[in-house]
Structure 1
Amino acid sequence: MRQAPDGPLSGAARRPGLPRGPAERGHPAPTQSDTATVQAYAHVRDLPADALALLAEAESQHVEFGADWYANLIDTVQAQAPRSAEVRLHVLRQDGQVKAVLPTVRHARRLGPEVASLSNFYSALYAPALADGVDAPALLPLLRSLRRERVAAYRFAPMDPQSRPFQVLREAMRLAGLSTHAYFAFGNWYLPVHQSWPAYLQARSGQIRSALKRQGKKFAAEGGRLEIVHGGPALMPALAAYESVYARSWKLPEPYPAFMPGLIQLCARRGWLRLGVAWLGEQPIAAQIWIVANGRADIYKLAYDETYKALAPGTLLTAHLMEQAMDVDQVREIDYLIGDDPYKAAWMSHRRERFGLVAYDPLTVGGLLGLARQQIGAAWRRWHPKPALHNDNAAAA
């Protein structure tokens, strides 16, 4: 194991049966410790204004930390979850001031409930929203309120192991008496942007440059064109084009079909969307979803129709969107988000890692069993180590 506010909320309907204010059905009453109070809410739209403001501050670091992201995730994913999975957004106040918002999902289990981050395979990064100056002891009242519910296990991922939220949450769980462990989640390739698109392209290998030039000429000769949609009247045709390409690609159908349309429309409304489409005549043959905000360009989704693989529409579209991100949007970083797919090293220059946190309450049966499994798994990995992925930050060829 490796150690280590702007824009209105979506108006989608709330999951039936969930309470409006501080959680009622199956939710704890507000708890108090000295001058600290903790309340739980079932949806971001139920949060008070000061808690939304703290989420807005967090969103300025990454879009997935904001209220709009969580609203779409709740409305399109969690709304389809079993009743045993309940969204709870825990708000910690000290002397009446909001100090933290911890978005979670509480899962009912046979050997005791588990609390997990409000995230899933659509999430590239997760973090609690913390006010300035909040440290691990300040977060303790929130963790203690969860322990009083006899929560057996806690799972938070994916997180940046170098970030303050990761360090604070890990130490707070330890201080609360939980057996806490960090684990590797996935690799993340990214590119700090210090140059224009022409300069960047010149630094690529001759093979990449010649391939882009050759394939670009062939694509144009066949009647191909590239389009980047931000929103407006072109949005719905571009969304339909993306869904058409995705359905004809090698990728499996989306398990939650409403999530991506919700995200695309959210990003268009907030000015974040860069939806690239490669057209061959009137036929869309490749599509990519990039999210541009806070000086970052996140490459979120991509797909192409393998029938037209010889035209390299995905490669040409990536180059077109990178030029937009560098020279028009002038971002500081381009991020390939999840995974160590080999092709990412050809475009990106650096690699970092995302981790998760898992903690067990040793005073619960479920926690003891989880801890035992954790220790057995750790011993197995020590005796059967996997080769470590070389993590140098040299520029890709």
Structure 2
Amino acid sequence: MKVIGLMSGTSVDGIDAALVDVTGSGYEVAIEVLGSLTVDYSAELRHQILGVCSGQSITMAQVAQLDDEIAIAFAQAAQQLGPADLIASHGQTIYHRPPTAKHLGYSWQLGRGDLIAHLTQTPTVNDFRQADIAAGGQGAPLVPPVDASLLSHPRQHRCVQNIGGIGNLTYLPPWDRTGQPPTDIVGWDTGPGNALIDWAVDLFSQGTLTYDHNGDWAAQGTPHAPLIDQWLGQPFFQQPPPKSTGRELFGADYGQRCWQQAQTLDLSQADFLATLTAFTAATIVHSYQQLPRLPDEVLLCGGGSRNAHLKAQLQTQLPGCKVRLTDDAGLDSNFKEAIAFAILGYWQWHQHPGNLTTVTGASRPCILGQTHMPHT
């Protein structure tokens, strides 16, 4: 079955699209990536999305317009990859609230599935998080069962570390990828990935840059270790998994408070970026200390995997682990999340559960997503 996976993450840097030929059933799936591309958001649309994510006021009419514009952008990305049997669209998260003892979680992705189906004349699955949330889960991260199916190793303990706007991990004990996956697979959000670094680069460059290429700017500075230790005291990092987070916590307001602290210490812009980058690495390493055991290797993906300075810091702080890219295990690190949602869509189409309760904390396995059929 040819499935197009569409993904835009918390970095809000554009839409990743992958056309994937998926075969097999259940967790025993095989894939062939037939095409992939990234479509950047227009500067205006990205600005609007980031504004909503940071809590700016918006009317319902503006939300409806934004919902339409995102869906149109997603549909156009899918159309560039050619015909498919199914589209699986994650959409664009604008708000994520983890569950508490008092209420269920809440997660809102824009980019209407019905409009994508209409524009592409292709069945479209979207709204993947709601069923897991209704079952008491975090609704995130959803990619770990796909990681298990595609990246488990028969003898090695692996971690898959996505570094998008927010970071998340999947711990994969040895598995030969037949039958049911091991029951001790876990995963959770590790904290900020690129979100704070990107925010600072945008601020310091007055909007001319959106990210720190290769970590070159941060590499010119010196991280401030006491400040990193102070930031690691944030309650999220002490919270046991399952757990998830987003820009609601690690967004512009958080970045602004961090920058104010840095200014009282006379940190330069490069020192601050070095500190934010080292902080991201420290949050990942902190999460790994909560695993059943350290992995033999860490496979990086997402935009942050291309930050050579960050990757080097992770390798230094995890000396017993081999830090590589998912590319080295046969899965394109640039499009892994889009590929994952293609498989989640495939599972929904075949009524196979898409969540792992050990990851999200849901009370039961759930069929994830809603299908929208095109109307002629």
The TM-score bracket by the shorter chain reads under 0.3
- The normalised TM-score by structure 2 is 0.26
Higher Cα Rg: structure 1 or 2? 1
Higher relative contact order (CA 8 A, sep 6+): 2
